[in-house]
Amino acid sequence: MKGVPILVTGAHGFLGGYVVEALRARGADTLLVPRRAELDLLDRGAVRAYLARERPAIVVHLAAVVGGIGANRRHPGRFFYDNLVMGVELIEAARLSGVRKVATVGTICAYPKHTPVPFREDDLWSGYPEETNAPYGIAKKALLVMGQAYRQEYGLDAIYLLPVNLYGPRDDFDPATSHVIPALIRKMVEARRAGQDSVEVWGDGSPSREFLHARDAARGIALAVERYDDPEPVNLGTGHEITIRDLAEKIKKITRFEGALRWNPAEPNGQPRRCLDTTRARERFGFEAEIDLDAGLAETVRWWEESSTSS
């Protein structure tokens, strides 16, 4: 990838920072990393003008409007519109400007609510996504169809990656938008510091999730950009699941919070289970996750404790 101009949308976000690092580690030295003020992906004219001017050979599309269950419930319209339109305008502009390859990063929320475990890529169309994040999941899944259609009609090398739930240092710890790991870390660290005797956790703890460190996800994305050129979507994950209850207990131990966990079953559980079949990523471009969940959680907790103390 040396000397190849690569546009990374969302480069200044949580995953984006790791992807930029991973691409550079694999030799990419001509990266375009605009902020929204420089490239508004909802503005058709701005997108087409930027790509026509900068002429990237490869586009890695990470930019997204994301959030946990609460944010998805509050903003289903925005999550659908923004995520769909950003991808549609970018891929069309890429075609018009002669981009060679587009790597779109989708979402595990695209899978049907009751997908058999482990999730295989061929199951993507076997049902409707879990209701609380369906608008987001469907918007992102539409970009898979667009990429495949553009490959068929225009010869665009469009690939599509499905990372499982991400976590790690530099994640979003805002209570209004954060996902489960940063939300629990922040709750428990703040409760410990304040001397509280309990924290509330949404749902009943029974759903399972699979978690992939963002640094591992970024390495997988960089490998796919370099080595993968097929139309089929590819899961990126660890292949291991954990219940939310067990996850909360792990975080409680790592954060040294000694109070009680109060489960609130009135709040949604989300999808019952999430665990991926990661065979395709291993076979097609040699990706396997390396960071153990316990080690990754400890690193993330350390980062948050240091960041929240210094701020």
- The helix/strand/coil state of 158 is strand
Sign (positive or negative) of CA dihedral 11, 13, 250, 234: negative
Beta strands in the chain (DSSP E): 5-9, 30-32, 58-61, 101-105, 157-163, 165-167, 198-202, 208-209, 211-213, 234-236, 242-243, 260-264
98, 57 contact by CB (below 8 A): no
Name the active-site residue from 50, 111, 136, 160.
136
Q: Measuring CA to CA, which residue among 238, 239, 236 is closest to residue 217?
A: 236
CA angle 89, 168, 23 (to 5 degrees): 55
Question: Does 136 qualify as catalytic in the annotation?
Answer: yes
Give the Å distances, CA to CA, from 134 to 86, 130, 265: 17, 6, 21
Give the Å distances, CA to CA, from 277 to 69, 120, 149: 24, 5, 25
Around Cβ 288, how many Cβ atoms within 10 Å?
12
Beta strands in 127-269 (DSSP E): 157-163, 165-167, 198-202, 208-209, 211-213, 234-236, 242-243, 260-264
Around Cβ 249, how many Cβ atoms within 10 Å?
14
Q: Measuring CA to CA, which residue among 257, 150, 108 is closest to residue 196?
A: 257
- What is residue 103's DSSP assignment? E
Q: Which structure tokens are listed for 167? A: 């976590």
| Strand pairing class (208-209; 198-202) | unpaired
Q: How far apart are CA 11 and CA 222, in angstroms?
A: 13
Catalytic residue annotation: 136
